[in-house]
Amino acid sequence: MATLAPRAFAFCHTFGLTVWIALVEGSGWSLILPGLLLLLWPGVAYVHAARAQHSKHAEFKNLLLDSLLFGIWCSVLDFYVLATLSIGLACFMNNMVVGGPHRMLASMALFAGGALGWGILTGFAFRPYVSAGLDIYQGAGAVVYFLAIARVMYGQNRQIGRSIVEIKFQNRVFHALLDLGVVANRASNIHTLLDDSLKHLHADFPEYGFAVFLQECQRPEVTRYAAVAGLRLDPDDEHRLCRLLATLHEPHASTVKLSEKAVGEQLYATPMAGRLSMYEGWLIVRAPKLDAALERMLTLFVDQLAAATENKLLHLALKKTAERDGLTGLYNRGFFESALQLSIQGKTQSPGLDFAVLMIDVDGLKEVNDRHGHVAGDQLITSVAERLQMHCRASDILARYGGDEFVVLFPSAGLSAANRLAGLVRTHMEDQRCLITTAHGERVTLTLRMSLGCASSTETPAQEVLTLADERMYDDKTQRRKQRALG
């Protein structure tokens, strides 16, 4: 279809050549009437290519038929030399461009066959020259035709170049999406997910800068998570940008241009509207301008990031439910036992890698439940859990082991770590007052009393550390009961 205009010009020009020769030699309608029939072919070829299931294949067939028809017509014109050379060269070149040497040979065969066949039917005659004016007309037409074909080829080459650039860009986008999927699987939390995702995006598209902000749905002015890669944002810029996004909390269907920008760069924001259940999300990109390819890319990245974030939030929630105690929020017994097994394995593989355990029992929980109800007992346990968390270090694993029992695992630590925490509990929690509210709304003050037992892998086999700590805790409970009875 792209060569329709040059080919139509070629047929019209050939018809003009035919009329000129007819007027010069007085041939009349014997040449002009067949020339009119020749003009019908471009329209027939167009309809054939337009209606064909494979228009390109139909167009290639039409080019071969052009060679046959022009071969016949060169015979009709008695092989006017300049016309025969230019028309034949045009046919051969067209087929060479679309199909290579084999197709050019087929075009030459059809051209020669048409010329010889018509010559055999009507007789051969040669018209090497008509007039200087006709030579100028034919030469000028040939130049125009070849320049028109060259213009078509130039346009097609530019289109191919743009297609190659677009394909490369799409491949980069596809590669980046794969990277985001891998990052999402590896990330342990939302901060890591967003930071690593933007780093991968910036690595795949270094010409752009990226940022992402997740804001609370009910309070859009509160940014819960944020990450930046390839953007020059100081804390003031980041806060200003967050405030700006908070004013755009109404749902947006597409990328919006932000009014605030750093020097020499323009920022665009693509919303995650409707893609997250707990947050309003925004993907920010720094780019010279927003074109259709970039907007499609941002939409894909937003979908991928939103899906990965939502899945990670769900995974973390499920993981927390599986690992945490429902009442206190501490690790549960299952998680503690898994962590203990890892410490036991570490001690088995590396004898110098010790660990310790502290068992804690809240004395009098049964009496509180019997006297004031389980609501009061739950408040007592929750209060103890909160105070224990205040004294534990980040590396300590604090878990609720049973109804009134807590346990602390000290990975890669000896008995001194457990004794340190036991001393803090004795100093800051023992005999302290705890205010609770009963199921009937009464305010009751209780005194905290706890039994403690410590053990370490330096004094007993790794598999027996927990048992030894438990025995020492019950020994401590027995001694304390005796002391209270004597007191």
pLDDT tens per residue across span 390-407: 999 988 999 999 889 999
308-323 average pLDDT score: 85
Beta-sheet strands, E only, within 171-305? 209-216, 223-229, 256-257, 266-271, 279-287
pLDDT of the residue at 487: 62
Q: Rounded to an integer, what distance in angstroms lies between the CA atom of residue 209 and that of residue 202? A: 6
Q: Rounded to an integer, what distance in angstroms lies between the CA atom of residue 37 and that of residue 47? A: 16
The mean-pLDDT minimum among 119-123, 256-260, 264-268, 321-325 falls in 256-260
DSSP 464: G
The residue type found at 429 is: M
**Confidence grade of residue 222 (pLDDT, cut at 50, 70, 90):** confident
Is the pLDDT higher at 467 or at 37? 467
**Tokens for 438?**
């009963």
Residue 1 has pLDDT above 60, yes or no: no
Note whether 280 and 249 are within 8 A (CB).
Answer: yes
Backbone dihedral region for residue 391 (phi beyond 0: left; psi -120 to 50: alpha; all else: beta): alpha
Residue 458 has pLDDT above 70, yes or no: yes
Residue 101 has pLDDT above 80, yes or no: yes
Backbone dihedral region for residue 140 (phi beyond 0: left; psi -120 to 50: alpha; all else: beta): alpha
DSSP 417: H
pLDDT tens per residue across span 361-401: 999 888 888 888 888 889 999 999 999 999 999 889 999 99
Domain ranges of the chain: 4-159, 187-323, 333-486
pLDDT tens per residue across span 414-439: 899 999 999 999 999 988 888 888 87
Query: For domain 333-486, is the CATH number 3.40.50.720?
Result: no
Q: What percent of the chain has pLDDT over 90?
A: 25
CATH of the domain spanning 187-323, picked from 3.30.70.20, 3.30.565.10, 3.30.450.40, 3.40.50.1220: 3.30.450.40
**Helix/strand/coil percentages in the chain, nearest 5:** 65, 15, 25
Q: How far is CA 32 from CA 11, 121, 186, in A?
A: 13, 19, 79
Among residues 392, 370, 393, the alpha carbon closest in space to that of 380 is found at 370
